[in-house]
Structure 1
Amino acid sequence: MAEEVPTTPPPAPLYVDGCPGCAMDRKKAANKGIPYKEFFFVAVTTIASALPISSLFPFLYFMIEDLHVAKKEQDIGLYAGFLGASYFVGRFLVSFFWGVVADRVGRKPIIIFSVASVVVFNTLFGLSVQYWMAITTRLLLGALNGMLAPIKAYSIEICRPEHHALGLSVVSTAWGLGLIVGPSIGGYLAQPARQYPNVFSEESIFGRFPYLLPCLSISIFSAVVLVSCIWLPETLHKHKNIDNEVEMSGHSRTPQTEDVDAGKSLYKNWPLMSSIIAYCVFTLHDTAYTEILSLWTVSDKKYGGLGFSSKGVGQLLAIAGLGLIVYQMFIYRPVHRYLGSVNSCRAASALSIPLIAAFPFMTHLSGSKLGLALYFATILKAALGITILTGTSLLQNYAVPQHQRGAANGVAATAMSFFKAIGPAGAGALFSWTQKRQDAAFFPGDHMLFFILNLVQCIGLVLTLKPFLAVPKHYK
């Protein structure tokens, strides 16, 4: 009987003293549980970064009116689209740069700088009294807020592999929550002298600058988050060479190899690029949907809208945000565990199509029936959108090693920002066009609006199928 050869246990990883990445790896090895503290910091910094992105949508229609740039009421959507797109144009120009810098100097400095930019330029946007000033401050806010690329890499690096889906879902949910709570803040606090005349007078600073209060509130929250960034641990590996110079490393000095090709060009990495393409189409859809929903709900009923006030839109989006929190806490993780990233994306995308098609028919409802239908549809759409974006983000981060994650997420953020810049501008122009065709025989008014939204959603669904989407080899 042949003697069994004893198996050699895998060698232990070799940690480098003074390296923040190795310190984080050592902490993860010692603690196999969920890093709640780190996830909390990820959530609040992500929310601070996301709040100003769509906070202007509930009052955008009224802001364009007050700036007196639209000659006709039907042209307001066009100017609103350009203003909404300016943030994403700025982010498109420099997102890849922030991702590369995060791979070189670390995640923490970029996160801190991004939150600081929100404090400054979001406040300046609230002080805008001319259209060019509003466009410029939003453009700079987008260009200097480089949070999205490093925070996704960071959420993967602070937890063990079994918690990666949760880490990215924290980012996606916090980002989605910021995109929902931001508009609710904008809706409740914009034009305070008109909404709350007993508290704010027309002669006060908030009367002279009717859109300062929501922007200032977000900036104050971001300032508090900026202070909390002191306790953020760095995760990037920084090893010293024989000349005592610091070198960036993608991992701790361990004999274990990664399943992904560390030297592979990002642009030749098809699992990465295919997931980015799908991600871009879905973000284009979500951005266009957010602006269209806000413009559609506040526009006059004679143009196919619902005639809501900015406060009404804020309340709608706030309730959708609460629903999103419940979904994230109790439903998302079992869904992801059962379906996985790819199948959950496909299912959520398919379910979104009939849901979007139902929106224009809500104009035939009124009272409590309208409220229940609109609230239910908005909550469900937010949950489906988060499921899709989390799944595609997870595939992107699994397609590259650690030292390429910042750059990979930078590429994703750059491409996504281009599509998001198209979203508001295209949605604004589309909204203005559909308002002028209320009596058309083929898909009149808002029916055409949501039909085109569904076309984009269908394209995204197709991109999650083979051969368009390539799944990373080591992803299960």
Structure 2
Amino acid sequence: PRKSIPKSQIIVLLALALSEPVTNTVIYPFVNQLIEETGITKGNYGKVGYYAGIIESSFFVAEALMILQWGRLSDKIGRKPVLIIGVMGLAASMLSFGLSTSFWALVVSRSLAGALCGNVGVVKSSMAEMCDQSNLAEAAAFMPIVWPVGSTIGPLIGGALSHPFERYPNIFGGNHFWKKFPFFLPCATAAGYALSSATLAFFAFKETLLTKTNGESIPKNPSQSAPSPAPAQLPLRSLLTPRLLFAILNYLLLALIEMSFLPLYPLYLSTPPFLGGLGFNPATIGICLAVTGLINGVFQFMFFGAIQRRFGTITVYRVGLATFCVLFGLCPVLNLVVRKNGGMMNASAWTLLVVQLSAQIIVSLTWGCIFMLITSAAPSSSALGTVNGMAQTSASIARAIGPETATGLFALSIQKRLLGGNLVYLVLSIL
């Protein structure tokens, strides 16, 4: 029989997990403009892609170096303290980002966020420890919600609250701080959410690592109601079974493709049509990403479990990966339609854009699937933190490579007119 999941604790976990996509995507609507305003591009808009990729990659380089250590630490001291430290680190880094006026200060701020936040793997470990095989799919249905919802909230905040001195003079016009730091308000808002989730976890989250619960865990079954003696940590080499390595390799490839697309897409949306984009302003980009994220989150919550049970984890995962080709393939088609219409969106362009944004919903199904594949491949439940740490390390390496490669290739494609400026989409489709 399928057991019920501890919904209140899952909600706290999701609130913590949401901090990462919110703080990551809040900068998307304005990061290209912010890079220009630092003066690093010296007026050459074609170079924005290179520097946007560096900023995005810096987070994941730092995360790749540290996330396994956070996972192993959580196997020793418990999940709760590591989770709280992580979101507080995100908050500090966002405040630093909003106050940065030079390009390299932005890079340092993003690196700080990556180094301090190892929460993704720890959240997954906690969720797996709350569940068993009868309800893991039900819990996994919540995981794909995190990024869609975060990518709804983040861009909406970033697009709506940037440049408050000029846009909201009645409220912020009297203080030149907001003119000097036009992007601090959205960054501070994202930081405020991260601090709020840390406070919620401090008071409401119950430790899930059995050796650290003191009898206060959320047991999966009666046999787990009392804490067991702490097992010795298994050597990393003993965990690297062929099944786990295959699951981690799939996670690496998924992260590489996804994190190539995420920073590339707002860059594509903001780039003028004559250079290969759609020419949207930050507010329009924010609305597009926010609406898509909201619909995506609702879809994942309502239908992921049923889809996974009906078609199987592997089949759903493969279909989701294949859908990336639709996302990439529509970019040059959309640009062509817009350019033929004098650089303006028309009914055909909006229709194609809706199809492209809708394809992201199918792609998002892959995240719940890969979570289940890695959890089921773990050789020992006592090493879940380490297993998820290894998985996230590989994903972070891919994510560090993906943004810089994709945005750099986008800029190179435009500057050199490679395949008419569309080489980047062909390369990503081949992946």
TM-score (norm 2): 0.88
Measured after TM superposition, the shift of residue 195 of structure 1 is: 3.9
Q: Which residue in the other structure is 1:68 paired with?
A: 39
Offset from partner CA, 1:216-255 (integer Å, 9 cap, x none):
1111112221111021111112189xxxxxxxxxx9499x
**Does the 8 A contact of 1:284 with 1:423 survive in 2?**
yes
Q: 2:89 aligns with which of 111, 117, 128?
A: 117
Distance in 1 between the 2:353 and 2:103 partners?
Answer: 32
Shift of 1:118: 1.6
Letter in 2 for 1:393: F
Superposition deviation, residue 208 in structure 1 = 1.1
CA drift at 1:423:
1.2
Q: 2:112, 2:135 → 1: CA distance?
A: 35
The match for 1:444 among 420, 427, 431 is 420
Distance in 2, matches of 1:421 and 1:53, equals 13
Query: Which residue pairs with 2:59 in the alignment?
Result: 87
Distance 1:195 1:81 in 2: 28
Q: 1:74, CA displacement in angstroms?
A: 1.2
How far does residue 287 in structure 1 lie from its aligned partner after superposition?
1.0
- Counterpart of 1:111, as a letter, is L
**How far is 1:41 from its partner?**
1.0
Q: 1:280–1:419: 8 Å Cα contact kept in structure 2?
A: yes
8 Å Cα contact 2:323/2:359 also seen in 1: no
TM-score, normalization by structure 1:
0.80
Answer whether contact 2:239 2:387 (CA < 8 A) is retained. no
The gaps in structure 1 that reach 5 residues or longer are 1-28, 241-250, 255-261, 457-476
Once the two structures are overlaid, the 10-residue window that deviates more, 126-135 or 346-355, is 346-355
Aligned to 2:231: none
Task: Write the mapping of 1:151-170 to structure 2, written as runs, cut at 5 A.
Answer: 151-170=123-142
Distance 1:431 1:166, change over 3 A: same
Q: Distance in 1 between matches of 2:263 and 2:68?
A: 25
Provide the residue aligned with 1:98 in structure 2.
Answer: 70
> Is residue 2:268 matched to residue 1:315?
no
> Is the Cα–Cα contact under 8 Å of residues 84 and 424 in structure 1 kept in the other structure?
yes
Q: Is the 8 A contact 1:320 1:375 kept in 2?
A: no
Which residue of the partner structure matches residue 18 of structure 2? 47
Amino acid across the alignment from 2:334: M
Cα pair 1:193 1:206 within 8 Å, conserved: yes
Is 1:455 the equivalent of 2:430? yes
CA distance 1:180–1:417, change in 2 (3 Å): farther
Is the partner of 2:243 in helix, strand or coil? helix
Deviations 1:112-139 (A, max 9, x none): 1111112211111111011121111110
* Alignment size in residue pairs: 405
Which of the pair is proportionally richer in helix? Answer: 2
What is the rounded CA distance, in whole Å, between the counterparts of 1:96 and 1:268 in structure 2? 14
Q: 1:396 aligns with which of 358, 374, 392?
A: 374
Aligned equivalents of 2:41 and 2:212: distance in 1?
57
Answer yes or no: is 1:351 the counterpart of 2:323. Answer: yes
Separation in structure 2 between the aligned mates of residue 291 and residue 37 of structure 1, nearest angstrom = 33
1:405 aligned partner, one-letter code = L
